[in-house]
Structure 1
Amino acid sequence: MVGIPMSGADMGRIAFETSPLLNLIRGLDPLGSTRPVPAAHRRWLADVRRQIPERSRPVVELLSAIPNYAPAFLIPDVPAGGRTHRTVQEELDALRAVRDADLVQDFQIFDTWERRPSRVYDALRDRGERLIPLLTDAMHALYRACVADDWPDIRRTLDADIGRRARQMAAAGPGAMLNDLHPKLSWEPDQLSLALSKVPDWQYDLRGEGLTFTPSVFGQYVGLLIVPGRRSVMAYPVSELDAAETLEGTDAAGDGLASLIGRARAAALRAIGDDPTTGELATRLGVKAPTASAHAAALRTAGLIVTERTGRSVRHRLTGLGAELLAANRH
């Protein structure tokens, strides 16, 4: 269990920011991770894998060198400016300003990891900050190839999540927001706890400087970066439904149904042709049963399907409106 004591000063300095480079890093994390990957993220990764520029291979090697870990220096420490959105240029400038002293923490972690050595790490160890400009340019090329075109849609999803969290804090207090942020996070008076398996109990110190939360459409886990000398950051995933809707694309040109109700729910409606169960619907869509159930609930609320229980089975059936909508939008 990781404990993060939060004083009154820390609670008063809770902030939210969007980060282009952090979303890029979490998007590529499965390249070196053992965690399961949601279907939409897996499809996104298959697409961008083919687009990774050769000049960006060193960064990809660094990201995949240690499973479930990204070097801290690749997540730039941009000074707080009272704004919700970091720009990619701000983050690249911060990355370009990394010095040898900033690399010590990462060297210590790499030095204790023997199973996944990285040639880039060896070069970084030898050349230090002299290699940073090359890695910064490689990171910029990677961002342009993998995320830049999708960033406006991704940022809209992140904005919506931040807005919901802000309303929750205003209505019920920051503790309620923290308790609802992720299944592995829990709030008790004065402490935020993160349940992690195979990790020794540890207590972090925020030093009264608060915690900045950064949402992402990638991953299902909480990422934590709390080190002396920089702002403390916690990355968390938006809902799987919102992530899938975003990653599968909001530009649904040529598909009127997807333009109307979103690509993910259009796919779900098209999959309900012969009264499937929730499990069958999940299999057809390549998602988990709770996600399929959430899609069905949204379609049911819109009056496009009805759900009927027969014995122990729950089946979904098109309504007349749903059938007419499908007939008018063959794809």
Structure 2
Amino acid sequence: MIEYELEGLDLGAVRFAISPLNELGLGLRVFRDPGRYPQHLPWLRMTESARAGLDTEVLTALTNERLWTPDFLHPLPTSPLTRFDDELALVAALPGRVVRGKLLEVHDPLPPVLAGRSDRVLARVVRAVREFWETCFAPWWPRMRTVLEGDVAHRGRVIAQRGLAAMFDDLSVRVRLVGNVVQVSTTGRGGYRRTTTGAGLTLVPSIFSRGGSTPITAEQPPQVMYAARGVGTLWLPDDRVAGPQALVDVLGAARAQLLVVLESPASSTELGVRLGVTTSAVNQHLRALRAAGLLTSARHGRAVLYLRSDLGDRLVRGG
């Protein structure tokens, strides 16, 4: 059990952020053991040819049988707008002894590919990770990021409407708030407890998390990585996202499709990519659905995210 003691229930102690490098680190689990992540098999198929040219020896060695990954692949993000290049630069600048220590927390003894001189091992890890990002993540990152940003927007609304405790109740079956202590269940025997005083608690939504997870050691800043909403539709082909026939008869195919997809927040740009239509066409349908009270919208950073309203939910269920 990992426990983080909040400073009372001060909202300022809890923040949300997105980490591209964290997504890559968790994605290595899918790379190593695809059978545990069936929802991401379409992504693996789409990247199969690209992965053939990667340094698979290093990428596989960055996880162990329990699918642990070194903490330096899970940096504390400071913003929902964190850039991958900035995070990887911090990893590349780590002292060799720190890198070796973090690798030993995952493997003891180290596999041969990670057991050489620390500077050479780090250089090879950074190169392998960068190539993994450029071939298997960067082309799909706008789609992934939209899902992650939509989750953050949803959690913010829950806090505003129902409070911090309600948000934690819906975060993960592995995470719960007891008094002012956030408890995260772990699969191992170990655990630790620390206060968030001075550091706060960062909540990081993830495409590749199956539940709630934390850094391996207490010396890392407090953070909880959890499964983002809407991942189930991330890799669905366009013809799988269709509304019930009764809904199509009333709204038309395009608007019924949008209403079904918007169970989770998304921007017009993301919707256009997913549904294979222009952004301007999507915007026309979104305006009509919102005017009818079937959608809500909220600005998040530079994007406007749309989500089904309560009325829209009832219409889809009835359809």
2:214 aligned counterpart, secondary structure: strand
CA distance in 2, matches of 1:225, 1:10: 23
Q: 2:172 aligns with which of 173, 178, 182?
A: 182
What residue number does 2:142 align with? 152
Report the counterpart of residue 302 of structure 1 in structure 2.
316
1:244 aligns with 2:232: yes
2:36 aligns to what SS in structure 1? Answer: coil
Instruction: State the one-letter code of the partner of 1:121.
Output: L
- Conserved 8 A contact 1:17-1:212: yes
Q: 1:134 to 1:104 in 2, by over 3 A?
A: closer
* TM-score normalised to structure 2 length: 0.68
Give the structure 1 partner of residue 53 of structure 2.
Answer: 54
Q: Match of 2:24, as an amino acid?
A: L
How far did residue 172 of structure 1 move?
2.7
1:106 aligns with 2:102: yes
Question: Which residue in 1 is equivalent to 2:286?
Answer: none
Q: Would you say the 8 A contact 1:21–1:91 is kept in 2?
A: yes
Mapping 1:258-297, distance limit 5 Å: 261=257
Given residue 150 of structure 1, which amino acid in structure 2 is its aligned partner? W
- Summarize the Cα distance change of 1:7–1:250 in structure 2 as closer, same or farther, 3 Å threshold: farther
Q: Number of aligned pairs? A: 258
Structure 1 residues 229, 3: CA separation in 2 closer, same or farther (over 3 Å shift)? closer
Residue in structure 2 matched with residue 280 of structure 1 by the alignment:
none
Cα deviation, residue 186, structure 1: 1.0
Residue 292 of structure 2 corresponds to none
Q: Determine if the alignment matches structure 1 residue 172 to structure 2 residue 162.
A: yes
Cα distance between partner residues in 2 of 1:171 and 1:59: 46
Shift of the 258–49 alpha-carbon distance from structure 1 to 2, 3 Å rule, reads farther
Q: How many Å separate the matches in 1 of 2:70 and 2:180?
A: 29
User: Letter of the aligned partner of 2:82 in structure 1?
Assistant: R
In structure 2, the CA distance between the partners of 1:178 and 1:47, relative to structure 1 (3 Å rule), is same
Backbone CA RMSD of aligned residues: 3.3
Give the number of the structure whose alpha-carbon radius of gyration is greater: 1
After superposition, give the CA deviation of every residue in 1:2-37 in whole Å (9 maximum; x if it has no partner): 322222387523221112222122223134459732
Q: Please say if 1:65 is aligned against 2:64.
A: yes
The offset of 1:159, in angstroms, is 0.7
Report the Cα offset of residue 250 of structure 1.
Answer: 6.7
CA distance in 2, matches of 1:60, 1:96: 16
1:111 to partner: Cα distance: 4.9
Q: Distance in 2 between matches of 1:120 and 1:87?
A: 28
User: 8 Å contact 2:19–2:80 — kept in the other structure?
Assistant: no
What SS is found at the alignment partner of 1:50?
helix
CA shift for structure 1 position 108 = 3.6
For residue 192 of structure 1, give the secondary structure of its aligned residue in structure 2: strand
Tell me which of 220, 223, 235 is aligned to 1:233: 223
Q: Which amino acid aligns with 1:71?
A: P
Residue ranges of structure 1 left out of the alignment (5+ in a row) = 266-297, 306-331
